[in-house]
Amino acid sequence: MERLILDCDPGHDDAIAILMAGLDEKLELLGITTVAGNSYLENTTMNALKVVEMAGLDVDVYAGCARPLLRDQIVAPEIHGSTGLEGAKLPTPKRQAEEKHAVDFIAEMVKAYPGEINLVATGPLTNVALFIIRYPDLVEKLKRIVMMAGGIAFGNVTPVAEFNVYADPEAANVVLRSSVEKVMAPLDVTHQAIMAAEEIERLRKTGSHILQTLADLLDFFRSTYLDLFDIDGAVLHDPCAVMYLIDPTIFECEDLYVEVELDGNLTYGQTVADIWKTMKMKPNVRVLKRIDRKAFFDRLFEDLEKLAVRK
């Protein structure tokens, strides 16, 4: 059993990551923390509450940082819509976000379960960086950080920078320099987890209202990727981070030295991986490189189809 906190910016792919984290029997989801990213904090927090309500998950949501550490804020309505989770009507949540700040909740859990907490980050790394800055003595008590972050061969917001890192590169720098075990799912691997139209249709065909709602969300996400990237599918970036905890054997990985560019004009926010070990630096992160696509989607459908028997 892997215990985790999911720090996210729902976001369509974050929504799938929330469901996997809450439904897979290998995982114990202790809480969800939200951060500004795909949309503003009030939207990402509301979206997390709506996904929890829709799936009937018993998990609390804690709001975190409303803006990046240093740079100006960016959001992604062109991908996720103005609310951050457009494409379907989700139920009004009964529960509200907790009073406690996300970073303080993470600290509380790490103190309660030293060495056992996986902090899975699927949005900008602002909350994670602030946890490291605010609670330096607790960093070594984290089991690991697993993040959907970065791109080695390409970016998606600029030619070389991926959104979660580009939205807060200084936070990504704090995280990459931290001493805790880190796992990174860059675009190079997440673009191998593209959910095709017929796979989305499989959810719709279950006849389950929840899965039809999910299919509507994924079709919206697919449509924006088709418009912007000419990719006809829902790219399941964030689920890759959660799937690593469920079954790391689904991935081929390599331990690499990775830094983030903070000064470049063209390259600001680029994650630079020293593939050829030219910098002679000790690897600081396990990078996911290849995916067993069949095993990934078999486990994803096994988890999502558990919702078919709910209301």
Could you list the active site residues? 237
Residues 6+ apart with CB under 8 A from 203: 211, 212, 214, 215, 218, 304
**66/116 with CB nearer ligand RIB:** 66
Buried b (16+ CB within 10 A) or exposed e, 292-308: eeeebbebbeebbeebe
Q: How far is the CB of 162 from Ca ion (least distance, A)?
A: 11
Is 122 an interacting residue with respect to ligand RIB (CB under 6 A)? yes
**Which range of residues in 5-13, 110-118, 177-185, 215-223 is near ligand RIB by CB under 6 A?**
5-13
Q: Which residue is nearest to ligand RIB (CB)?
A: 163
d(CA 102, CA 110): 12
Length of the chain (residues) = 311
Residues 6+ apart with CB under 8 A from 244: 146, 183, 185, 250, 251, 288
**Which range of residues in 10-18, 58-66, 177-185, 293-301 is near ligand RIB by CB under 6 A?**
10-18
Is 37 an interacting residue with respect to ligand RIB (CB under 6 A)? yes
| Axis crossing angle, helix 237-246 with helix 12-23, rounded to the nearest 10 | 20
Q: How far is the CB of 282 from ligand RIB (least distance, A)?
A: 27
Rg over CA atoms, the chain = 18
**107/240 with CB nearer ligand RIB:** 240
Is 288 an interacting residue with respect to ligand RIB (CB under 6 A)? no
Residue of 148, 200, 242, 256 interacting with ligand RIB (CB under 6 A): 148
User: DSSP character for 264?
Assistant: -
Residue of 86, 162, 219, 303 interacting with ligand RIB (CB under 6 A): 162
Q: How far is the CB of 109 from ligand RIB (least distance, A)?
A: 22
Helix/strand/coil for 149 = coil
163 binds, among ligand RIB, Ca ion, none (CB under 5 to 8 A by kind): ligand RIB
Is 206 an interacting residue with respect to ligand RIB (CB under 6 A)? no
Q: How far is the CB of 308 from Ca ion (least distance, A)?
A: 25
Are β-strands 251-256 and 285-291 bridged in parallel, bridged antiparallel, or unpaired? antiparallel
d(CA 145, CA 51): 23
**192/206 with CB nearer ligand RIB:** 192
Residue 190: closest CA among 4, 17, 3, 7:
17
What are the residues binding Ca ion (CB under 5 A)?
Answer: 9, 11, 14, 122-123, 238
Q: How far is the CB of 122 from Ca ion (least distance, A)?
A: 4
Site string (226-245) toward ligand RIB, x via CB under 6 A:
-----------xx-------
Record the tokens describing residue 268, joined without a space: 């600001």
Record the tokens describing residue 256, joined without a space: 């690499």
**39/213 with CB nearer ligand RIB:** 39
Summarize as ranges the residues that interact with ligand RIB (CB under 6 A).
9, 11, 13-14, 37-38, 122-123, 148, 156, 162-164, 237-238
